[in-house]
Amino acid sequence: MHRLSRRAILLGGAGLVGSAGLAATLTGCSTTDATHGSTHPIGPVPSASPSAGQGLVQKSLVARETTLDLGGPTVATWAYGDTVPGALIRAKAGDFLRISLENKLPADTSIHWHGLRLRNAADGVPGLTQDAVKQGDRFVYEFTAPDPGTYFFHPHVGVQLDRALYAPLVIEDPNEPGGHDDEWVVVLDDWVDGTGRTPDDVLKKLVDDGGGSHDMGGMGGGHDMGGHDMGGGGTAMAPWGDAGDVTYPHFLVNGRVPAAPERFTAKPGQKVRLRIINAASDTIFTVALGGHRMTLTHTDGHPVVPREVGAFHIGMGERYDAVVTLADGVFPLVAAPFGKTSGGQAMAVVRTGAGSPPAADVRPAELSGEVFIGSQLLPAESAKLPDRVPDATLQLSLDGSMKPYVWGMNGAPFGKNDPLTVQQGQRLRIDVTNQTMMTHPLHLHGHTFALPSGLRKDTVLLAPMQRLAIDLDADNVGRWAVHCHNIYHAEAGMMTELRYTES
């Protein structure tokens, strides 16, 4: 199933060279250093304060070990407080956020504010923007949230994202007309922690099954995906092919399994805004609300030309806002894991009237119709980057394989690859090529980029062997992570840095 496709061969002269090159460079990669960056101390981070008249939102978070009930399964895990997701943080565009993190975990941690165009010192990436927050220590994140939208936050250390350490962050638009009766935040997740395995166990097994992390000679072209821990015989399917590495026992909406689901209630005819966040570590979902069509209005915070869909894909780290006018009855809001054949699905229930609740394995007809690919949305006029010829173009390849389990960018894992460099004020084009037979959600910190259509995103899915040019304005000086939002890929090296240089 992982033979080179015809498409790969058409596109892939360079791809083959890229994979072979990676094999030569990858020997001796240490996965634990990949996102820790523990060898590069940053020192104290400068504090900041709100300017006169700026709104201030203050919160305290405690990251700690806890036991959570997912609606049946009870799991020992790590969380912000005693819920999964952690408590929603809401602010208005332009507000100053001051959020303290107390680390009571048995490990170092940090918080990254996913999708926000914030100051670099608050970006939460150990090794690039701060030192990891040690056990027992406290760290205060201080930043302005300039742009409205649907965001979330999570640690940027190891594979901690795959625990309960995530929560939604909504930045409201003071100028938005509104026009809906209610708003529901819908956070999707794939769940393994405390079910006999931790995410660290999962990563270790992926690396071990790939042949061990310290003897990686001979990658054999990167297309041998044998020994795949893939949900009991998943097969490669369009459009994402091989979309995930990990078999999960549960999929969650707002921290609940489908047998005891999250319940949303409204009146028939009401118009509701859904803010849908994929906080999973290794799962692309297909989302549908049974008996309804949804109108997608925003992605990754940015407004789009409204588009009515029956179902759509959402990659790890992506967000979509949708508006839906509710019918009368009881309806399943389903997020089906793409290409995974065990662990069931994620589901919430929408109730506007009488009726019995849907079964945990209900499959809305919308999932069998056309499934929309989010990157085909078109940008709202207000969200477009002004037309400009790029000042510089950089190549970025996504590389790697399951055997050995090593992932990289530009031919080497993070720590061994060279940063992408840019100068302040430039319009930068990054010409991205996925040189692998898996799909990867590419995420850039501190900026949003424009696809060739003009669509603004901070996270975009690249199908196997897909090539995509993304443009950005270099207007936020610092050291920014660029990585795959499959947390196992990122931790195994699929990351690089976008670094501002003086000239």
Site residues, ligand C2O (CB under 6 A): 112, 114, 154, 156, 317, 443, 445, 481, 483, 485
Q: Minimum Å distance from CB 484 to Cu ion?
A: 3
Per partner kind, with CB cut-offs from 5 to 8 A, the member of Cu ion, ligand C2O, none near residue 114 is ligand C2O
Q: Minimum Å distance from CB 112 to ligand C2O?
A: 5
Q: Minimum Å distance from CB 367 to Cu ion?
A: 24
d(CA 32, CA 176): 44
In the block, which residue shows the tokens 């305290």?
Answer: 60
β 182-191/271-278 pair status: parallel
d(CA 238, CA 339): 10
Q: Which is closer to ligand C2O, CB of 98 or CB of 483? A: 483
Q: Which is closer to ligand C2O, CB of 78 or CB of 331? A: 78
Q: Minimum Å distance from CB 491 to ligand C2O?
A: 11
Token readout for 420 is 């992408």
Q: Minimum Å distance from CB 459 to ligand C2O?
A: 8
Question: 139-152 b/e with 16+ CB inside 10 Å = b?
Answer: bebbbbbebbbbbb
Distances in Å between the Cα of 6 and the Cα atoms of 223, 353, 463, 473 are 14, 50, 14, 35
Q: Minimum Å distance from CB 158 to ligand C2O?
A: 12
Per partner kind, with CB cut-offs from 5 to 8 A, the member of ligand C2O, Cu ion, none near residue 98 is none
Q: Which is closer to ligand C2O, CB of 292 or CB of 499? A: 499
Per partner kind, with CB cut-offs from 5 to 8 A, the member of ligand C2O, Cu ion, none near residue 487 is none
Per partner kind, with CB cut-offs from 5 to 8 A, the member of ligand C2O, Cu ion, none near residue 445 is ligand C2O
Q: Which is closer to Cu ion, CB of 352 or CB of 375? A: 375
Q: Which is closer to ligand C2O, CB of 166 or CB of 331? A: 166
Q: Minimum Å distance from CB 160 to Cu ion?
A: 17
Report how far Cα 146 is from the mean position of its chain's Cα atoms: 20
Q: Which is closer to ligand C2O, CB of 252 or CB of 367? A: 252
**Cβ 299 vs Cβ 374: under 8 Å:** yes
Q: Minimum Å distance from CB 489 to Cu ion?
A: 3
Which residues lie below 8 Å from residue 53, measured CB to CB, with a gap of 6+?
A: none
- Which spans of this chain sit near Cu ion (rule: CB under 5 A)? 440, 484, 486, 489
Per partner kind, with CB cut-offs from 5 to 8 A, the member of Cu ion, ligand C2O, none near residue 313 is none
Per partner kind, with CB cut-offs from 5 to 8 A, the member of Cu ion, ligand C2O, none near residue 278 is none
Q: Which is closer to Cu ion, CB of 459 or CB of 486? A: 486
Per partner kind, with CB cut-offs from 5 to 8 A, the member of ligand C2O, Cu ion, none near residue 429 is none
Per partner kind, with CB cut-offs from 5 to 8 A, the member of Cu ion, ligand C2O, none near residue 440 is Cu ion
How many degrees, rounded to 5, is the angle at CA 216 between CA 211 and CA 220? 90
Which residues lie below 8 Å from residue 261, measured CB to CB, with a gap of 6+?
A: 71, 253, 347, 348, 349, 357, 360
- What phi and psi values does residue 426 have, to the nearest 5 degrees? -75, 150
Q: Dihedral, CA atoms, 441, 446, 451, 456, nearest 10 degrees?
A: 100
3-state secondary structure (DSSP) of residue 117: coil
Q: Which is closer to ligand C2O, CB of 154 or CB of 275? A: 154
CB atoms within 10 A of CB 336: 23
**Cβ 15 vs Cβ 8: under 8 Å:** yes
